[in-house]
Structure 1
Amino acid sequence: MSDPRPANAPDVLAAAGHPAPDRLSPDQDDFYAALMAAHAGLDAAQSHALNARLVLMMANRIGDLAALRDILAAARSAGDKP
């Protein structure tokens, strides 16, 4: 499958210096395509609401507060970089 991500899509974990291994390969592109499909046809408010539900559902699945705090910090710091 070809990479559905834009050519300039950031590697958020690498940008944040996150040490977690890539556990999604080789399915990462399929996940990204499914994520984009889930957002297809939604307006901005609906898309934000979907993201919020996804975050809460994934946090519940992970279930480890320390890991979740690390993920939040990594995501926040990745967003601060150009």
Structure 2
Amino acid sequence: MDLNLTPNIPDPDGFYDALLAAHEGRTDDESDALNARLILLLANHIGDPEVLNAALVAARAVEG
């Protein structure tokens, strides 16, 4: 399975709003922990080590 880099979220703005709302009222450390939990939950859902490694490579390539 290849990493899908094509937009694939039916309502990206709605998801972004929900993500921001999940961070509302949290400290930076709490937000970092929330992000880590979210990443681990989604990685577990994906499950494919090749896809996960491809995602790591892609994420590092766009570092700011």
TM-score band w.r.t. shorter chain: 0.7 to 0.9
Q: Which has the higher helix share?
A: 2
2-structure distance, mates of 1:68, 1:39 = 24
Within-5 A mapping of 1:1-82: 20-25=5-10, 27-80=11-64
TM-score, normalised to structure 2, is 0.88
Structure 2, unpaired ranges of 5+: none
Q: CA shift at 1:20, angstroms?
A: 2.1
TM-score, normalised to structure 1, is 0.70
- After superposition, the CA RMSD in angstroms is 1.5
User: Segments of 4+ in structure 1 off by > 6 A?
Assistant: none
